[in-house]
């Protein structure tokens, strides 16, 4: 399919990235949303998601008339070759994915989607959803295809246009191949499979990453207890090509809008299938334990009692490069500090406004002012370039807890401060 007519339903970060990138590959893309104001903003080229390269791609797509934004999927799908469902699937009751948005769109387009048009799920949906949608749609002439996305926030455009792999699955193999052809310009390996397997790839991959991180955080804890250095340990592990070098950085725990939701959902659907996925539940508990260990470390740095302690927090977003606070371990730690009676002042280059339990400032040096301890929770590069001698002058206490092992310990040390990382010997 060299130039296809594509409708993308949902203009969140997955939908908008998918729409803008498919348009950049030469397809004619209509993006649909229920939010009229958002559609108007996007039609004028205004992108309110912090995602490098996305606004430019949207602008180019609009200018080339290959990309448009409309309200309402019903009419939009009438001439489509493929309809991509990119609506939210939040964590519903008891950890299972809430599919109401997917079901609502299916209802809306039932009578207007043309024969032979592929209905593609991009959203992370539980295994069996493609079959469920097919049954709900009740149209044997409309194949349902699962095409999970593997985009990371902050690098979504680059991930879309330079993917490690493309996965498409359908019980109608020809339809799966047609969807794979939409990406033919991208030289990535393509896995064509059945719908259930494609749906499972997404969970299996995200949950593997979560387990990898929990494992690294647990090994980092062991490093502290045994006097080893996690940086050296993970470097030594990472050269093994079977393990790989990425996703080996310890931190305050994993978070964001995907890994917590997907791990909970996988435990849930495994349980429904009669399998107790203890390996995954252990990874989830380990992630919570990591936050507690970080809190204990901060408490230790102020003499054991957080009540009344003044804590300066650097970073609130769940990772660098995004303003996303959803399931952010940084935010969870900052909130827990407040719950333990600490006075929290926080700075994040991408986060402003008011947050409960803390004062959010717009200058990193303000977090150091009068602080008993400074805690780095998100790995923003700009924190490396802070004037640590000035930070030390402003602080009352003498310890920096660097939960991302981001800073050069010697820089902090030279400023007359104590540096405490994760899984590394303290520098004092």
- Annotated binding-site residues for substrate read 150-153, 202, 247-251, 255, 319
For the bound state, the minimum distance from the C-beta of residue 393 to ligand UGA, rounded and expressed in Å, comes to 30
Given candidates 31, 80, 180, 259, which one binds ligand UGA under the rule CB under 6 A?
A: 259
Active-site residue, 258 included: yes
Smallest gap from Cβ 87 to ligand UGA, in A, equals 14
Q: According to CB under 6 A, which one of 102, 179, 182, 258 is a site residue for ligand UGA?
A: 258
**Shortest approach of ligand UGA to residue 420 CB, angstroms?**
17
Dihedral, CA of residue 345, residue 349, residue 351 and residue 352, to nearest 10: 70
**Does 160 contact ligand UGA by CB under 6 A?**
no
Per-residue binding string, ligand UGA, 315-334, x by CB under 6 A, is ---xx---------x-----
CB 146 within 8 A of CB 169: yes
168 CB-near residues (< 8 Å, 6+ apart): 145, 146, 147, 176, 177, 179, 180, 190, 191, 192, 193, 198
Residue 52's DSSP bridge partners are none
Figure out which of the listed residues 60, 131, 152, 177 binds ligand UGA, where binding follows CB under 6 A.
Answer: 152
213 binds ligand UGA (CB under 6 A): yes
Measured from the CB atom, is 213 or 358 closer to ligand UGA?
Answer: 213
Q: According to CB under 6 A, which one of 33, 51, 149, 231 is a site residue for ligand UGA?
A: 149
Q: Kindly name the residue from 86, 117, 223, 258 that is annotated as catalytic.
A: 258
The only residue of 256, 349, 397, 421 in contact with ligand UGA, by rule CB under 6 A? 256
Using CB under 6 A as the binding rule, the residues of this chain from 347 to 386 that contact ligand UGA are: none
**Is 151 an interacting residue with respect to ligand UGA (CB under 6 A)?**
yes
**Closest CB 305 distance from ligand UGA, rounded Å:** 28
Q: Which residue, 18 or 399, is less far from ligand UGA as judged by CB?
A: 18
Contact between 167 and ligand UGA by CB under 6 A: the answer reads no
| Residue whose entry in the numeric block shows the structure tokens 């995200």 | 206
Pick from 236, 210, 234, 283: which is nearest to 423 by CA?
234
Tokens matching residue 253:
């725990």
Site for ligand UGA in 172-211 (CB under 6 A): 206, 209
Q: Please identify which residue in 163, 255, 397, 421 interacts with ligand UGA, judged by CB under 6 A.
A: 255
Range in contact with ligand UGA (rule: CB under 6 A) among 36-44, 249-257, 297-305, 349-357: 249-257
Residue ranges for the known binding site are 33, 38, 89, 124, 150-153, 202, 247-251, 255, 261, 319, 326
Least Å from the CB of residue 165 to ligand UGA: 11
CB of 128 to ligand UGA, least distance (A): 18
Residue (155 or 366) nearer to ligand UGA, CB: 155
Compare residues 126 and 255 and give the one whose CB is closer to ligand UGA: 255
Rounded to the nearest whole angstrom, what is the least distance from the CB of residue 249 to ligand UGA in the complex? 3
* SS3 track for the chain: CCCCEEEEECCCHHHHHHHHHHHHCCCEEEEEECCHHHHHHHHCCCCCCCCCCHHHHHHHHHHCCCEEEEECHHHHHHHCCEEEECCCCCECHHHCECCHHHHHHHHHHCCCCCCCCEEEECCCCCCCHHHHHHHHHCCCCCCEEECCCCCCCCCHHHHHHCCCCEEEEECCHHHHHHHHHCCCCCCCCEEEECHHHHHHHHHHHHHHHHHHHHHHHHHHHHHHHHCCCHHHHHHHHHCCCCCCCCCCCCCCCCCCCCHHHHHHHHHHHHHHCCCCCHHHHHHHHHHHHHHHHHHHHHHHHCCCCCCCCEEEEECCCCCCCCCCCCCCHHHHHHHHHHHCCCEEEEEECCECCCECCEEEECCHHHHHCCCCEEEECCCCHHHHHCCHHHHHHHCCCCEEEECCCCCCHHHHHHCCCEEECCCCCCEC
Under the criterion CB under 6 A, does residue 124 sit at the interface with ligand UGA?
yes
Q: Which residues contact 264 (CB under 8 A, 6 or more apart)?
A: 91, 95, 284
Closest approach of ligand UGA to the CB of residue 205, in Å: 7
Choosing from 38, 122, 249, 424, the residue that interacts with ligand UGA (CB under 6 A) is: 249
Using the rule CB under 6 A, give the single segment among 54-62, 86-94, 251-259, 415-423 that binds ligand UGA.
Answer: 251-259
Residue closer to ligand UGA, measured from CB, 397 or 421? 421
Question: For binding to ligand UGA (CB under 6 A), which residues are involved?
Answer: 124, 149-153, 206, 209, 213, 247-249, 251, 254-256, 258-259, 318-319, 329
Residues annotated as part of the active site: 258
């Amino acid at each position: 399919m060299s130039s296809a007519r594509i409708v993308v339903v949902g203009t969140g970060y997955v939908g908008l990235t998918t729409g803008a990138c498919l348009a950049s590959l030469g397809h004619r893309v209509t993006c649909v949303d229920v939010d009229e104001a958002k559609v108007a903003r996007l039609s004028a080229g205004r992108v309110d998601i912090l995602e490098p390269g996305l606004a430019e791609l949207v602008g180019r797509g609009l200018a080339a008339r290959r990309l448009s934004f409309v309200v309402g999927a019903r009419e939009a799908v009438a001439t489509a070759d493929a309809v991509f469902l990119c609506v939210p699937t939040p964590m519903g009751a008891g950890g299972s994915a809430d599919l109401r948005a997917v079901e609502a769109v299916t209802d809306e387009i039932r009578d207007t989607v043309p024969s032979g048009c592929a209905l593609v799920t991009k959203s992370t949906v539980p295994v069996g959803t493609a079959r469920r949608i097919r049954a709900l749609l009740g149209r044997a002439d409309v194949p349902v295809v699962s095409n999970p996305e593997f985009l990371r926030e902050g690098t979504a455009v680059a991930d879309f246009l330079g993917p490690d792999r493309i996965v498409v699955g359908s019980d109608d193999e020809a339809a799966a191949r047609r969807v794979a052809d939409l990406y033919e310009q991208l030289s990535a390996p393509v896995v064509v499979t059945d719908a259930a397997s494609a749906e499972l790839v997404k969970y299996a991959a995200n949950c593997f990453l979560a387990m990898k991180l929990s494992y690294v955080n647990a090994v980092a804890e062991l490093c502290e207890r045994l006097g080893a250095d996690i940086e050296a340990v993970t470097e030594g592990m990472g050269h093994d090509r079977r393990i790989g070098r990425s996703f080996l950085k310890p931190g305050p725990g994993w978070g964001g809008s995907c890994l917590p939701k997907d791990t909970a959902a996988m435990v849930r659907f495994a349980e429904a299938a009669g399998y107790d996925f203890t390996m995954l539940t252990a990874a989830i508990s380990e992630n919570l334990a990591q936050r507690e260990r970080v809190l204990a470390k901060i408490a230790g740095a102020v003499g054991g009692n957080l009540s009344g302690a003044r804590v300066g927090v650097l970073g609130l977003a769940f990772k660098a490069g995004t303003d996303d606070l959803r399931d952010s371990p940084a935010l969870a730690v900052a909130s827990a500090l407040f719950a333990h009676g600490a006075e929290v002042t926080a700075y994040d280059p991408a986060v402003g406004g008011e947050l409960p339990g803390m004062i959010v400032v717009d200058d990193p040096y303000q977090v150091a002012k009068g602080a008993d301890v400074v805690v780095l929770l998100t790995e923003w590069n700009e924190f490396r370039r802070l004037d640590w001698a000035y930070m030390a002058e402003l602080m009352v206490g003498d310890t920096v807890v660097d939960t991302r092992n981001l800073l050069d310990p010697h820089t902090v040390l030279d400023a007359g401060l104590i540096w405490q990382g994760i899984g590394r010997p303290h520098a004092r």
